[in-house]
Amino acid sequence: MRAKLNPVINISLIVLFLVSCSTISPFSETAYKQSTSIKASALALMDKAQEPYSNHCKKVEDLMLEARKAYEYAKGRPKNEASTGQWAIMIDPKGNMIAGFFEKWKSEGKQSKFFIEQAKEQISKGFDQISALESGKIKE
């Protein structure tokens, strides 16, 4: 025996679905490209952390500028708090993501291969979360 749903409930579910979809910004190709590009550059630069920071400080500054631009782009989009929050974590120099890694490298001069590999794994997942969040949005 098949149960029938009340038509009012069906309409309510549809309205609820449409309202919930409108509480997050639509997909942005720009935001997705930023996250994947910055990820690739960050991971490649992290590999250089066995060398003195001073050899790569300009590249770090340039990469962090790109990450801050991505944060500002995310922040400027309406209904984009989740992505903005992820970027804020990524660029926090006191945190454990890319800005924190670069701050540690800067203060210590060099990093061990083991530490770099562990940090790359964690930071890569952080970038993947940003990309997945964006790619999961509705494409208009």
Write 64-71 long-range contacts (CB < 8 A, 24+): 64/91, 64/98, 64/99, 64/102, 66/34, 66/37, 66/38, 66/41, 67/38, 67/42, 67/91, 67/98, 67/99, 69/34, 70/31, 70/34, 70/35, 70/38
Q: What is the mean pLDDT of residues 73-89?
A: 95
Classify residue 13: in a domain, yes or no. no
Classify residue 9: in a domain, yes or no. no
Classify residue 1: in a domain, yes or no. no
Q: 86-132 pLDDT, tens per residue?
A: 999 999 999 999 999 999 999 999 999 999 999 999 999 999 999 99
**Structural domain that includes position 118:** 29-135
Classify residue 66: in a domain, yes or no. yes
Q: How many residues does the chain have?
A: 140
Classify residue 24: in a domain, yes or no. no
pTM: 0.81
Classify residue 68: in a domain, yes or no. yes
- Would the pLDDT of 21 be above 70? no
Number of domains comprising the chain: 1
Q: 31-69 pLDDT, tens per residue?
A: 999 999 999 999 999 999 999 999 999 999 999 999 999
Classify residue 18: in a domain, yes or no. no
b/e for 88-102, b at 16 or more Cβ within 10 A? ebbbeeeeebbbbbb
Cα 60 from chain centroid (whole Å): 17
Classify residue 123: in a domain, yes or no. yes
